[in-house]
Copies of this chain bind each other. A is one copy, B any other.
């Protein structure tokens, strides 16, 4: 195996360790901060980052010995790289979330509680009854980890593994049902004359929840193949969710985002100790977004730690395990904190990739085992990979591909004699970038992907806070 990437400099690591410890200790020191549990969460997340940075290379040889290894398809060096190391991220992540339980759900900060201030929200920061919701989320994450790892070990075929995340969502559904979870959704303004303000989806809501898990998981899984592609998506989506959550917290200051510049007729107000800005004074909304933060902060941390080793040239591969656990984590917060529509907006590049992939996923176009771009080892640049037609394609396939080509989403090669389509570039977002922007290096391609993801998130925020006012009123339950 190639030598593992050396760790960052020791002073940096020691500094991080000190900062992490400060965050964990701070809630116990007078004057007690508001939202003490959030301090703990940040501290734990920094510990998770350090642990991931350290453990990933440390267990690499054991993974290789256990036959959990892969060859980098896009490198000349064919020595094996440890595979499925998303397992390390998932283990650290879940273990920390478990150790976090007493801080979130007991009276660990009871000394703090007596110190009521204007930030009084901290006192009832997190209700104990939510413990079972938290635990069911952990169960789903753990099942996703197990299934992802089994997928890596048993190498399940992709057509069979698409429904697997539904199994991981069962604990969420069961506890949601047992706790008589709300299955109402708010109807967009233009449809209210038909359905009223709230519509009870009933069993459909459960189907929606399990489909959300399936989508979040598989959308990462099919956007894979180059160094850092899986984990960088997770990092940017986690950052977006965290940013969105922060808008709902009781900040000491209160500011406005001038969204009227974007044509919205609602003004967005953020922060404000008691009214908690975007939470419109709703304690429930603050609690939900705290719940989301408690899951997203450590997820971001383990993903960043893993990205350090997975960055080009990768010294560790994520395996399906990482896709499963990160996808499930996003589904969990979207469902439990009730912002699944906003969450889906952060998945715009994944949705684009999924829609683009459909002709190959559903058999219209041949789908080779790997659809990763092809490398030209002389220039070290990636080129779009091709799917070849053994016989001339059906009229439907031809039409679909011609439309995609006209939109600039694929590049077709005609058959030299018959003129029918002989091959097409594989229908993924990565090949699309290469078709549009020309050949580029692997590192550049993953940076382009990350750029698209960031652009998608910016667009998502504009849609959510700028345009949503057009179809929803202020009642954002």
Contact = CB atoms under 8 A, between A and B. Distances in A.
Contact of A178 (B95, B105, B170): B105
A219 interface: no
A110 to B, nearest CB: 11
Interface residues of A, number: 38
A102 interface: yes
A203 to B, nearest CB: 13
A234 B357 CA distance: 49
Interface string A171-195: 1001101111000000000000000
A259 B180 CA distance: 47
A207 B177 CA distance: 35
Interface in A132-184: 132, 135-136, 138-139, 142-143, 145-146, 149, 153-155, 167, 170-171, 174-175, 177-180
Main DSSP-derived SS at the A contact region: helix
A282 interface: no
Contacts of A175: 101, 131, 135
A294 to B, nearest CB: 14
13 contacts: A62-B154, A66-B155, A95-B167, A98-B174, A99-B170, A102-B174, A106-B177, A106-B180, A128-B178, A135-B175, A142-B143, A145-B146, A149-B149
Closest 5 CB pairs of A and B: A135-B135, A101-B174, A105-B178, A106-B178, A132-B132
Given A67-B67, A101-B175, A131-B175, 18 more contacts: A66-B153, A66-B154, A66-B155, A91-B146, A98-B170, A98-B171, A99-B170, A101-B178, A102-B174, A104-B178, A105-B178, A106-B177, A106-B180, A131-B178, A132-B132, A135-B171, A139-B142, A145-B146
